Amino acid sequence: MQEEFDFELDRVASTIRDRGCRKVLLQFPEGLKRRAPGVASALSEKTGATIIISGEPCFGACDIPDADADLTVHFGHLPIPSVKTRNSVLFIQARSDADPYPALKNALPRLGNAVGLLTTAQHLHHLNGMAEFLRSKGLRVQVGQGDSRLYMGGQVLGCNASSARAVADDVDSFLFVGTGDFHAIAIALTTSKQVLIADPATSAVKDAAELRDGMLRQRHAAIEKARQARSIGIILSTKLGQRREKAAIYSNRMLADAGYETALIEFELVTPQKLESFGLDAWVSTACPRLAIDDFAAFPKPVLTFPEAEILTGKRAWNDYVFDEIP
């Protein structure tokens, strides 16, 4: 059965009506964009408001545009408490209807006694039930409270696994419940503990060890390639929840002190074509850390994260590699 997501159309429609909104912008992450036209026409019918769909890429709740609309409805993510949006935003997490328990059962034989349980916005409504299920099987379950970038305990973002770090000393392994490798990579690079990925859509379970090793090899290669560079651009994002100006200015100074020609350059959306126009030899991204990691193959020049730039300049040892988390 195909996984379905709850767009909470009645709640969205009543919010639009109650607030008297006449123009509404809808934002969808890439995986849900195909559902956008249907959602827009249902909301238009229910409310009479003008519904506009954002056609721009949207990768997270860090990316809320300054919309010319009475309300932005952002589907697929929960709010990031540490990011204060300038306009009125309604977050709809798009709960999945996938049943996570078959995947949990499959994971049981491979888990240690003490387990850190983690998931994403789509499955957080099952978090307490999943913890109870694992406890009923005799496991000690920890649900870590992360920092203020996370909306709920046990939640993980592609740029923040502080909920894993919070309990890492108390668990033998982590169980991440969710689809795809994106979030699991953040956990695997944040902790050295075993990370199992249980996919509620397919009930498949896999160990993230290979992913972790592959990522670390890739990051080591990127740093080594950047050692040939003479000029390095520092990427500063204009997106509200990805803008790390202090880190960008610090990186710029650190690299200049290490003898590189540097330029601090601001982008909204980073693409290989935009970077290539500058003719620089390498880049350090202080925007979404996943740009450097997940889009590795798309960029002709090496793109490093902020802690990787510290390794490049000798301020940090490779053995002290850390995932670039945004707090």
Q: Which residues bind ligand SF4 (CB under 6 A)?
A: 59-62, 157-159, 241-242, 288, 290, 326
**Torsion angle of alpha carbons 126, 128, 130, 134, nearest 10°?**
180
Tell the smallest beta-carbon distance from residue 80 to ligand SF4 (Å).
7
Tell the smallest beta-carbon distance from residue 247 to ligand SF4 (Å).
13
Tell the smallest beta-carbon distance from residue 86 to ligand SF4 (Å).
17
How is residue 133 written in tokens? 């299920």
Tell the smallest beta-carbon distance from residue 61 to ligand SF4 (Å).
6
Closest to ligand SF4 by CB, 212 vs 290, is: 290
Count of CB atoms situated within 10 Å of the CB of 182: 16
Nearest residue to ligand SF4, scored by beta-carbon proximity: 60
Q: How many angstroms from the chain centroid is the CA of residue 190?
A: 13
Tell the smallest beta-carbon distance from residue 162 to ligand SF4 (Å).
12
Closest to ligand SF4 by CB, 62 vs 127, is: 62
Closest to ligand SF4 by CB, 100 vs 241, is: 241
Of 302, 107, 296, 57, the C-alpha closest to 185 is 296
Three-class DSSP category at 232: strand
Tell the smallest beta-carbon distance from residue 151 to ligand SF4 (Å).
11
Closest to ligand SF4 by CB, 158 vs 307, is: 158
Q: Which residue has the tokens 């305990």?
A: 153
Residues 6+ apart with CB under 8 A from 168: 116, 190, 191, 193
- What are φ and ψ of residue 318, in 5° steps? -60, -35
How is residue 291 written in tokens? 């740009």
Closest to ligand SF4 by CB, 82 vs 203, is: 82
Closest to ligand SF4 by CB, 190 vs 242, is: 242
Three-class DSSP category at 118: strand
Burial zone of 32 (CB within 10 Å; 0-12 exposed, 13-18 middle, 19+ buried) = middle
Residues 6+ apart with CB under 8 A from 60: 29, 77, 80, 157, 158, 159, 241, 288
Tell the smallest beta-carbon distance from residue 230 to ligand SF4 (Å).
29
CA-CA distance, 212 to 87, in Å (whole number)? 38
Closest to ligand SF4 by CB, 49 vs 61, is: 61
